[in-house]
Amino acid sequence: MSILNRRYPALQSSLLAVLIAMLAVLFSSCRTSAVQKLPQTQCRRVVSLSPSVTEILYALDMGQQVAGVTRFCKFPADARTKPSVGGYVDPNLEALVRLKPDLVIIRTEQTGLVHQVRALNVPVLTVEHRNMDGILTSFEQIGQVCHREEQAHAYVSGLQARIQAVKKTLGRVRRKPSVLVSMEGDVHTSSIHWVYVAGPGSIYDWVIVQAGGVNAVPPNRTGFVQISSEGILRMNPDVIIELLPYSSKIDPVVVRRQWDSLPSVAAVRNKRVYLFSQDYMMIPGPRFVGALEQFARVIHPELRWPQLH
């Protein structure tokens, strides 16, 4: 995380920093972990160690069963009233034990933490949110363990219907624009020097493809990578999507001015630089399908899109 520390001075205390770190490491192209044996529990007191897991629990109408969350679990609003067990990568395990959970749900991507939590001798369910398939599968896993199979099936069906609606609208688009998804660069400069971008293997690569685009990042630059302004010029993307940190005070006007410093890039020249600051864009949970819907609209504005949810 040394690059992230240079980029964001308040790294350790920033929600943005944790989200960026989660995205940069957890959404990289990795092998799926082995199938686990699902724990047996009544799910009366569930502790969530990830914002995306917390959102799934509430989506399954399990808010009353949520006994504890991390300090980064902000949605829905009721999650903020729950006891906090600390951070995403550094939870207070003593505080977790004091909550007397009968289930702890953790992301498989929280590698070192999984072993620590298992050592507490409480039932643990691990879920994977590296891609959309993993998000949908985790609904089914949590639904099965917590006796919410019907709710999980209904919610997954609704998300799949939204994905299919995007595909139907796209139809057989002939031209697929090249798209660059940026995670913001150095905000203290007047021009673009370098940025973090989502390459092949990241969850945003899936979003780009499903939204009718082609990732501008070369195939050999997988996961989340740092690129220079020269690299952007070589890629020359048709569309640039900038994901702004929703918890920060970064001025979008400043960000647009930075991109304007690269007038020869097709996306800049044609005014196709789009800024998004919605929190769900960086949380791989129930609302992440909204990222697909938004991406598709800006990648293919020429199509007639149905009203957003």
Report pLDDT for 35.
Answer: 61
φ, ψ for residue 241 (rounded to 5)? Answer: -115, 115
Q: Is 31 helix (H, G, I), strand (E, B) or coil?
A: coil
DSSP 81-143: GSPB-B-SSSB-HHHHHHT--SEEEEETTSHHHHHHHHTTTS-EEEE--SSHHHHHHHHHHHH
| CATH classification for the domain delimited by 172-299, as one of 3.30.2130.10, 3.40.50.2300, 3.30.9.10, 3.40.50.1980 | 3.40.50.1980
From residue 122, how far is each of 117, 139, 162 by CA, in Å?
Answer: 8, 21, 36
Report pLDDT for 12.
Answer: 35
Report pLDDT for 15.
Answer: 45
Over residues 83-137, the pLDDT tens digits come to 999 998 889 999 999 999 999 999 988 878 888 998 999 999 999 998 899 999 9
Is the pLDDT at 78 greater than 70, yes or no? Answer: yes
Which CATH code is given to the segment(s) 2-24+37-147?
Answer: 3.40.50.1980
Percent of the residues in the chain that have a pLDDT greater than 70, as a whole number: 85
Over residues 175-217, the pLDDT tens digits come to 999 999 998 666 667 788 889 999 998 999 999 999 999 999 9
Report pLDDT for 232.
Answer: 96
Over residues 25-40, the pLDDT tens digits come to 444 434 444 567 788 8
Is the pLDDT at 294 greater than 50, yes or no? Answer: yes
Distance, in Å, from the CA atom of 238 to the CA atom of 256, rounded to the nearest integer, reads 16
**What is the token pair recorded at 114?**
């999984």
Confidence of residue 306 (pLDDT cuts 50, 70, 90): confident
Report pLDDT for 23.
Answer: 55
Q: What is the mean pLDDT of residues 155-166?
A: 96
Confidence of residue 22 (pLDDT cuts 50, 70, 90): low
Higher pLDDT, 84 or 14: 84
Q: What is the mean pLDDT of residues 292-304?
A: 95
Is there a shared CATH topology between the 2-24+37-147 domain and the 172-299 domain? yes
Report pLDDT for 2.
Answer: 30
Report pLDDT for 247.
Answer: 59
From residue 183, how far is each of 20, 63, 120, 180, 239 by CA, in Å?
Answer: 8, 31, 36, 10, 14
Report pLDDT for 8.
Answer: 37
What sign does the dihedral 205-242-7-265 (CA atoms) show?
Answer: positive
Distance, in Å, from the CA atom of 253 to the CA atom of 110, rounded to the nearest integer, reads 35
Distance, in Å, from the CA atom of 292 to the CA atom of 111, rounded to the nearest integer, reads 28
Is residue 121 classed exposed, middle or buried when 0-12, 13-18 and 19+ CB atoms within 10 A define those classes? Answer: exposed
The residues spanned by each domain of the chain are: 2-24+37-147, 172-299
Over residues 241-288, the pLDDT tens digits come to 999 876 566 788 888 999 999 999 999 999 999 999 999 999 999 999
User: In this structure, what DSSP letter does residue 303 have?
Assistant: S
The answer to whether 24 touches 130, Cβ cutoff 8 Å, is: no
Report pLDDT for 94.
Answer: 95
User: Mean pLDDT across the chain, nearest whole number?
Assistant: 86
Distance, in Å, from the CA atom of 184 to the CA atom of 2, rounded to the nearest integer, reads 16
